[in-house]
Structure 1
Amino acid sequence: MEGVNHAKNLQFYGGKIGGWIPLGSLVVFMLAFVITDHISLKVFWAAGFFALSLSFLFSKDKKQFSDVSLKGLTDPMFSVLVIIFLFAGILSHLLRQSGLIDGLLWLSTTLGLDAAYLPLITFLACAAISTATGTAGGTVATATPILLPLSLGLGCDPALVLGAIISGAFFGDNLAPISDTTIASSLTMESEVPKVVKNRLKYSLIAGFIASILYVIFGKMTTNQLPETLVEDAGGPKTLIMLVIPAIMVFLMIKGKDLVTVLLTCNLVAIILNITMGFMSLEFIINIEGPIVAGISGMLSIIVFQIFLFALLELTKASGNFEEFVKTAGSQCKTPRQAELMVAFLTVMGTVATAINTVAIVMIGPVANKLFKKFNLDRRRGANILDGFSCATAGVLPYNASMMVMFGLAVSSGVLSETFSVMSIPMYSFHAILLFVVFLISIITGWDRRYEKVTGNHIEILKNPPMNSTTIKKTS
């Protein structure tokens, strides 16, 4: 694709509205299929195909359309995600086919664990992992193959458990000092990471506390009684040695290793453990029904969908509509509240348009910085609004990368049917929803809004705007 120039925006019939056809039509088609009860990962291929076809018909320059679509598949993030999907799928089957879940069922029933509390335990475990590692994708790759089959084996609602996993994953993605979103939001707002995290803590903990209560309530409402035969048939403790794998994953991620390296390392260790402990033979591992082939083939549905998704995301970006809107948005703000609401709105739209919250933060951050300086607003708060709304949106976005990894693992492992709807998960992503609500209430009411008074290199944080600020002029 060398020599292709995308400096000129891709034009669509319908003007600025036409520029939203690629991504907008995908969402519409997905919702239409779910409403008409055509629920399957493979059915979403059709949504991608129809969205791409509609985009083709509405594009004015068909050659440029082709170039831009293919450019989406050269995005490094696409390549990384494909490798992550494949390695995570293999690891999921290595753990499941080892008999680890039977061992965990045995342990749970032996200890008399109340399954109604498993959604809460899942949320807290994932929140702890993501806060320690700073990665949502790594958290779902670690937790889903273990906590989902265990919870379903004990009678929990799968959508509730998946909601708890993705909620916990984005808890740490939002809060962890080593999270890429925390770093990106702090740097774009010219703020120090430790001070930003300290200021952010109250928002995360309020949302997390209420989410915990909801997981207990819904856990008790939706959990079915475990059949006695399942308790009696559950496996013994031998396979619990495989729990060393998620421990290694967390350790390596804390050490800053990338997810591809972590997954490949854990796959190799899992293969060695399975063979040495006698859980499976090398011949079975490479067999067509073994974990490698089954793990790869189980993730192909997600990978095909990602092909359509990245092509459509690139088409949406190539229209230039969003960038143009972002550039002109700041001039519409007349008060500090309007500035904060605009940053929140742009962050949500940026996350929806890119499907990756870090990218949205990098895109919106410079505009947010200018707006906050204009009204002398505390830029730590700006970093938190950026991060909070991006993580909240990503935590309920069905086509977000972490959601896709989680859903792909759930289907690939065989514990969920392909007809299970990914659209049923976002409503149980309680922490993400509450994070959105907490920040929105804070903006509307003005709770915790602070201002900056800059004197030389010193920044003083004030409860009220400094007397020489633009804020006074705008609000008087």
Structure 2
Amino acid sequence: MKRNTENKGNLWALLPLFVFLLMYLVTSISIGDFYKMPITVAFLTAALTALIINNKKSINEKVEVFCKGAGNSNIILMCLIFILAGAFAQVAKDMGAVDSTVNLGLSILPGNILIGGVFIIGCFISLSIGTSMGTIVAITPMAIGIAQKTGIPVGLALGAVISGSMFGDNLSMISDTTIAATRTQGCEMRDKFRTNIYIALPVAVVTLIIFIFINKSGSVTLSQNYSYSIIKVIPYLAVLIAALIGINVIKILVGGIIFTGVIGILTKSFDIWGFVNSIGKGISGMSELIIISILIGGMVELIKYNGGIDFILGFIKSRINSKRGAKFGIALLVSIVNLCTANNTIAIVMAGPIAKEISDEYNLEPRKVASLMDIFSCFCQGIIPYGAQILAAAGLAAVSPFLIIKFLFYPYLLGITAIIAIIFSKL
């Protein structure tokens, strides 16, 4: 179906976005709770608004356009990957892989670099399991314990946890943000990873040095013995290695689920029905993200059809006249959406189609655009006090989110480095 050229450059077509912002952002700020309003309800209302506007077209035509966007091959493939990633993550968790990985790190952690070690563990776990939230929930109790035993400020310990978790969230092959960024821009995950790592790795090294310097006061020995099983860490390593050598992500996740399930059964972590139930639980855990992706796909297609995308492109184009300007425009776009939604994956899914249009117009490399979107969404998500990551860590430690913010060295440095990389055309 062709785009409705009669409404080209139509500001009114962006009304669904404003409805979403009004329902979600304004409501959340006014009641002081960013999780009171279900984000699915806000997106459903915005999608229905997109179907209602433009009286020149029949409802049947608009529904057809919506279904075309919701059923876009990239959206459906992204949902399939989300399903498999959720299943793998849950099976691995129930099998004991997360606990073993955390305890393995703690058992070899030198006492004089405890906070740096917490950061390294966070980086490894988040890179392996592809979720910042899973990493935070897994190692925050350990970080709190370290702070209590050593007198290290809790905010500093949690800053190391969140910094490490955002490293993998930004880079992991099975991270929601990586999946969304690569699918919306049409590039391979390994290409995005190779582009992204040149920005993220140096930042991680500098962050590690900062944490070690802060923690240089002396060596502390942890008395607790941490038990782990090497065989339970293997699935994460296998998935990471398979992704790095370029195996198809569907094959990786299916193989990872089966491999992890077999280990879980052999180690008696669960039986065959426990394995099946873990898969089902993991799939259910991704349902909200899948629903949101479908609603966004249809809504964005209607916005595009009615001229909203053309309006945004025209607005951005009038203020940029170079590839560098286009990159800054994309960075600003995904950052603003992330600040409004407090969810980096949703920000990428929403901004992705618009970023693709800008990318095509200015002949930008898809791998760089995907990296750009992922970096700036993770930068914003990693520092906002109302984001799930900071709220989760602060909640587990029973401290204010603002005690953590000043120690979030990795997200801050990531954003600064990315800006420098754009200026010097390295990103």
Alignment TM class, shorter chain as reference: 0.5 to 0.7
Task: Identify the range of structure 1 (200-209 vs 315-324) with the bigger mean alpha-carbon deviation.
Answer: 200-209
Once the two structures are superposed, the pairs formed by residues 291-306 of structure 1 within 5 Å of their partners are 291-306=278-293
In the alignment, structure 1 residue 21 sits paired with structure 2 residue 15: yes
CA deviation vs aligned residue, 1:324-355 (integer Å, no higher than 9, x gap): 5536865766xxxx635532343236656863
Residue number among 66, 70, 80 corresponding to 1:69 in the alignment: 66
Code of the aligned partner of 1:300: S
Write the distance in 1 (CA, Å) between the matches of 2:22 and 2:136: 29
Shift of the alpha carbon at 1:49? 2.0
State the SS of the aligned residue for 1:19: helix
Residue number among 316, 322, 333 corresponding to 2:303 in the alignment: 316
Residue number among 29, 43, 46 corresponding to 2:41 in the alignment: 46
Write the distance in 2 (CA, Å) between the matches of 1:117 and 1:264: 34
In the alignment, structure 1 residue 34 sits paired with structure 2 residue 31: no
State the SS of the aligned residue for 1:250: helix
CA deviation vs aligned residue, 1:378-433 (integer Å, no higher than 9, x gap): x9xx99985664343343576xxxxxxxx89xx9xxxx99xxxxxxx999986565
2:231 alignment partner in structure 1? 241
Contact 2:118 2:161 in 1 (8 A): yes
Shift of the alpha carbon at 1:439? 5.2
Write the distance in 1 (CA, Å) between the matches of 2:96 and 2:236: 15
Shift of the alpha carbon at 1:266? 0.7
Contact 1:396 1:427 in 2 (8 A): no
Write the distance in 2 (CA, Å) between the matches of 1:75 and 1:397: 28
Q: Which has the larger radius of gyration?
A: 1
Write the distance in 2 (CA, Å) between the matches of 1:252 and 1:431: 27
Shift of the alpha carbon at 1:201? 8.7
Residue number among 75, 80, 83 corresponding to 1:83 in the alignment: 80
Write the distance in 2 (CA, Å) between the matches of 1:262 and 1:384: 20
Gaps of 5+ in 1: 130-138, 186-192, 370-378, 399-406, 418-424, 451-476
1:58 alignment partner in structure 2? 53
Shift of the alpha carbon at 1:268? 0.6
2:373 alignment partner in structure 1? 390
Write the distance in 2 (CA, Å) between the matches of 1:308 and 1:315: 11
Shift of the alpha carbon at 1:145? 8.6
Code of the aligned partner of 2:70: L
Write the distance in 1 (CA, Å) between the matches of 2:6 and 2:207: 42
User: Relative to total residues, which structure has the larger helix share, 1 or 2?
Assistant: 2
Residue number among 144, 147, 153 corresponding to 2:141 in the alignment: 153
Code of the aligned partner of 1:22: P
Write the distance in 2 (CA, Å) between the matches of 1:37 and 1:54: 26
Higher relative contact order (CA 8 A, sep 6+): 2
In the alignment, structure 1 residue 266 sits paired with structure 2 residue 256: yes
CA deviation vs aligned residue, 1:443-467 (integer Å, no higher than 9, x gap): 7xxx7489xxxxxxxxxxxxxxxxx
Shift of the alpha carbon at 1:368? 2.8
Write the distance in 2 (CA, Å) between the matches of 1:439 and 1:254: 23
1:121 alignment partner in structure 2? 120
Write the distance in 2 (CA, Å) between the matches of 1:100 and 1:90: 14
Contact 1:49 1:308 in 2 (8 A): yes
Contact 2:10 2:310 in 1 (8 A): no
Once the two structures are superposed, the pairs formed by residues 276-425 of structure 1 within 5 Å of their partners are 276-286=266-276, 290-323=277-310, 326=313, 339=322, 342-348=325-331, 351=334, 355=349, 362-369=356-363, 389-396=372-379
**For the structure 1 residues 243 and 206, does the alpha-carbon distance in structure 2 shift closer, same or farther, using more than 3 Å as the test?**
closer
Shift of the alpha carbon at 1:278? 2.0
Contact 2:75 2:297 in 1 (8 A): yes
State the SS of the aligned residue for 1:323: helix
Code of the aligned partner of 1:297: S
State the SS of the aligned residue for 1:155: helix
Shift of the alpha carbon at 1:42? 7.8
Shift of the alpha carbon at 1:249? 0.5
Gaps of 5+ in 2: 145-156, 338-346, 382-387, 397-403
Write the distance in 2 (CA, Å) between the matches of 1:120 and 1:84: 28
State the SS of the aligned residue for 2:322: helix
1:250 alignment partner in structure 2? 240
Contact 1:392 1:433 in 2 (8 A): no
Q: Normalising by structure 1, report the TM-score.
A: 0.60
CA deviation vs aligned residue, 1:103-125 (integer Å, no higher than 9, x gap): 34544454456663355215653
1:170 alignment partner in structure 2? 170
Contact 1:275 1:281 in 2 (8 A): yes
Identity %: 14
Q: Normalising by structure 2, report the TM-score.
A: 0.65
Write the distance in 2 (CA, Å) between the matches of 1:426 and 1:365: 33
State the SS of the aligned residue for 1:154: helix
Write the distance in 2 (CA, Å) between the matches of 1:108 and 1:332: 49
In the alignment, structure 1 residue 7 sits paired with structure 2 residue 3: yes
Shift of the alpha carbon at 1:158? 7.3
CA deviation vs aligned residue, 1:137-160 (integer Å, no higher than 9, x gap): xx653x659744431231367797
**For the structure 1 residues 359 and 435, does the alpha-carbon distance in structure 2 shift closer, same or farther, using more than 3 Å as the test?**
farther
Once the two structures are superposed, the pairs formed by residues 86-101 of structure 1 within 5 Å of their partners are 86-101=83-98
Number of corresponding residues = 368
